[in-house]
Amino acid sequence: WREELSPGAVVLRGFALPVEGDILLELEKIFSVAPLRHMVTSGGFRMSVAMSNCGKYGWVSDRAGYRYDAADPDSGKRWPPMPALFSTLASEAAALAGFSDFKPDACLINRYDPGARMSLHQDRDERDFSQPIVSVSLGIPAVFLFGGMRREDKAMRISLTHGDVVVWGGADRLRYHGVLPLKMASHPSLGEHRINLTLRKAT
């Protein structure tokens, strides 16, 4: 169940399954305070993925650009706190991939409906690239694109399904990556949705 795509990119198949019900309960509480919303890019395009955050910082995008912000721009209030379950799961996964003492302070929550996608990008808004990013996939499957250090580099295609946890760090931390448009599908607990949590150390 442990697949090494590269020394810094480790897939832990089904690692979140034992706590999926608890994660979904926490997400419902988070969405009641900080609802999922489609952010816009600085160019004015509406993102097909709906997003929210929990933790000390949240990733936000608007006409002014993207950044980490301690406040939800829609409510003006702080993001809901990061559930202990999320930080524990992330630091256990990171440790299994060789990153000890990972303490995330930000969790971006992405919700995909069929057809939603994420184009190739790098995650470089965090301060310390020596800290990994841990991702948790729930719901309907997605094809994840794991590219190289340049946008033009050929990308590997990896299927990520319900309960899969991936740790991205070290030399792979700045690789281009994305998600192909989701195919129509239904999951017993999430319906026609995919939810991806990315746990990060923003500052």
Sign of torsion, CA 167 38 154 127? negative
Q: Is 123 a binder of Fe ion (CB under 5 A)?
A: yes
10 binds, among ligand MD3, Fe ion, none (CB under 5 to 8 A by kind): none
Residue 91 to residue 104: CA distance in whole angstroms: 8
Q: Is 172 a binder of ligand MD3 (CB under 6 A)?
A: yes
Size of the site for ligand MD3 (CB under 6 A): 15
Of 111, 162, 175, 193, the one binding ligand MD3 (CB under 6 A) is 175
Q: How far is the CB of 16 from ligand MD3 (least distance, A)?
A: 13
Closest to 132 measured CA to CA, from 162, 83, 81, 91: 91
Q: How far is the CB of 118 from ligand MD3 (least distance, A)?
A: 5
Binders of Fe ion among residues 63 to 102 (CB under 5 A) are none
- Residues forming a β-bridge with 71: 78
Token couple for 35:
């609802």
- SS3 assignment, position 187: strand
Q: How far is the CB of 159 from ligand MD3 (least distance, A)?
A: 12
Closest to 156 measured CA to CA, from 169, 146, 148: 146
Q: How far is the CB of 13 from ligand MD3 (least distance, A)?
A: 14
Residue 81 to residue 60: CA distance in whole angstroms: 16
Interaction mask 98-127, ligand MD3, x per CB under 6 A: ----------x-x-------x----x----
Secondary structure (H, E, C), 134-155: EEEEEECCEEEEECCCCCCCCC
Q: Is 69 a binder of ligand MD3 (CB under 6 A)?
A: no
Of 80, 86, 90, 173, the one binding ligand MD3 (CB under 6 A) is 173
Q: How far is the CB of 80 from Fe ion (least distance, A)?
A: 21
Place of tokens 């990008």: 121
Q: Is 18 left (phi over 0), alpha (psi -120 to 50) or beta?
A: alpha
Token couple for 30:
């988070």
Closer CB to ligand MD3, 19 or 180, in the complex? 180
Contact positions vs ligand MD3 (CB under 6 A): 108, 110, 118, 123, 133, 135, 166, 168, 172-173, 175, 177, 179, 196, 198
Contact positions vs Fe ion (CB under 5 A): 123
